[in-house]
Amino acid sequence: MPTCPDTKLVNMRNVTVTKEPEECFGFVIHSSLRAEDTFKIGQVVADSPAGRCTDLMEGDSVLTVNGTPITGLQHRTVVELIKKCGVSVILGVGTPQLVEEDEDSEWRNQTEEIKITLERDERGFGFSIRGGKA
């Protein structure tokens, strides 16, 4: 049975990035269309304020901006929060780590078989399946 990898956040910390007024902070923040996902650091620019602070890593999940929780906010709202910080921003971040599965994992042992009947009309079944090779 295929399983979905699960992650937890470790190394929770506040990272302060301070820049000169004419500089950019030097990090790129990515978001997902899935509301349950956090924002992630997609890139840390070398020789930038973020790159020089050494505490911010690509792939870190960003949970707060200057103490404001950002989970569930729109991307542009988070960018505006960062821009309003002036020359210093404090990012609450954590590093995602894969959770090891064990044989007794509660969710792993919960399976259910569901039988369905599909009816086809002149246009087909009403859906398509795309994917890679098995």
Strand partners, 93: 13, 62
pLDDT of the chain along its 134 residues, tens only? Answer: 344 557 788 889 999 999 999 999 999 999 876 645 579 999 999 999 999 998 999 999 999 999 999 988 889 999 999 999 999 999 999 988 887 765 555 555 566 677 778 788 888 877 767 665 55
What pLDDT sits at residue 7?
75
Q: CA dist 100 to 29, 59, 77, 105, 118, Å?
A: 27, 19, 34, 10, 37
C-alpha 14 chain-centroid distance: 17
The model's pTM is 0.67
What pLDDT sits at residue 132?
58
Strand partners, 89: 17
Q: Indicate the burial class of 50 (C-beta count within 10 angstroms; 0-12, 13-18, 19 or more).
A: buried
Could you give the count of Cα atoms lying within 13 Å of 21 in the half-sphere of its Cβ? 0
Residue pointed to by tokens 């929780």: 69
